[in-house]
Amino acid sequence: MRPRLVLFGDSITEMSFQSGGWGAALTDRFARQADVVLRGLSGYNTRWALKVLPRAMEGAADADPAAITVFFGANDASLPDQVSAHQNVPLEEYQSNLRAICGYFKERWPSTAIILITPPPIYEPARIRLCRDIHGVDDPSRQAERTNEAAGSYAQACISVAKELGHPVIDIWTKMQEFPDWQTSALSDGLHFTPTGNQILFHEVVKTLASIGFSQESLPSDLPRYREIDPKDPMKAFEV
């Protein structure tokens, strides 16, 4: 059986199999070596994810997956006094929920590596424009429903939980802001990823997977490759 990677998160995970997405790139990279299983829940925060966790994981894997990414926080960090207030989860509860989610996976799949991913940075002007387009309110003083400062606080909280539990963590909030013009080159609407943003996360995931021994170089290919088949005796390659 091929090893499995399970991707669990919000819309940035759900959209990761779109053209240019980081999940699709993982599937391409590990073709013939591993299966990538998508469990993305657009709009969800850690409170809702924890509530549906057993149902969300139905059919994800019979045996322990090699690794699972847990990528929540962008919605938890929504401001409690703005239009997305119903998605907000207080910081301490966010951390508690992450611990519970990780605990569920560790109990269900003891040998699975759990990789936490922080919420990404936020470009507030783009979020304000999006809210204006959706709600039809052209108010120059309007505040974004998410801020980069709040996302940074949740990113640090995620890192803290990962260190506490001994799990690898990808600080995409910090990493993405190292790139020139990240506000528009990496983010399509101030939150979700462009192909460039997807590539940034993809490379960080690949690097983190390699650090736990999961890489193209270390994984065997499933079934004989074409170049391994002898033209003079093709069937010999399929002998077990």
For 134-192, write each residue's pLDDT tens digit.
656 555 556 788 999 999 999 999 999 999 999 999 999 999 999 999 999 999 999 99
Instruction: Give the residue among 240, 22, 6, 38 at the shortest CA–CA distance from 120.
Output: 22
The pLDDT-based confidence of 1 (bands split at 50, 70, 90) is confident
The pLDDT-based confidence of 83 (bands split at 50, 70, 90) is confident
% of the chain at pLDDT higher than 70: 96
Statement: residue 56 has pLDDT above 60: yes
**Where is pLDDT greater, at 143 or 91?**
91
% of the chain at pLDDT higher than 90: 85
The reported pLDDT for the residue numbered 66 is 97
The pLDDT-based confidence of 85 (bands split at 50, 70, 90) is confident
**Least confidently predicted of 6-10, 129-133, 203-207:** 129-133
Cα 12 from Cα 72, distance rounded (Å): 9
Statement: residue 212 has pLDDT above 70: yes
Calculate mean pLDDT across residues 57-74. Answer: 96
What one-letter code names the amino acid at 112? T
Task: Compute the Cα dihedral for 96, 42, 53, 57 and give only its sign.
Answer: negative
The pLDDT-based confidence of 12 (bands split at 50, 70, 90) is very high
Instruction: Give the residue among 11, 54, 56 at the shortest CA–CA distance from 37.
Output: 56
The encoded tokens of residue 171 equal 């600080």
The reported pLDDT for the residue numbered 63 is 93
Domains detected in the chain: 4-238 (3.40.50.1110)
Pairing assessment for the beta strands 35-40 and 4-9 based on DSSP bridges: parallel
- 113-134 per-position pLDDT tens digit: 999 999 999 999 999 888 776 6
Instruction: Give the residue among 53, 23, 18 at the shortest CA–CA distance from 35.
Output: 23
The reported pLDDT for the residue numbered 138 is 57
Please state the pTM of the whole predicted model: 0.94
The reported pLDDT for the residue numbered 134 is 65
Instruction: Give the residue among 105, 106, 14 at the shortest CA–CA distance from 57.
Output: 105
Secondary structure (DSSP) of the chain:
---EEEEEESHHHHGGGSTT-HHHHHHHHTTTT-EEEEEE-TT--HHHHHHHHHHHTTTT-SSPPSEEEEE--TTTTS-TTSTTGGG---HHHHHHHHHHHHHHHHHHSTT-EEEEEPPPP--HHHHHHHHHHHH----TTPPPSS-HHHHHHHHHHHHHHHHHHT--EE-HHHHHTTSTTHHHHTBSSSSSB-HHHHHHHHHHHHHHHHHTT-STTTSPPSS--GGGS-TTSGGGGG--
Statement: residue 89 has pLDDT above 70: yes
The reported pLDDT for the residue numbered 43 is 95
Statement: residue 60 has pLDDT above 60: yes
What positions carry a catalytic annotation? 11, 189, 192
Give the CA distances from residue 233 to residues 207, 229, 238, in Å, rounded to whole numbers and listed in that order. Answer: 39, 8, 10
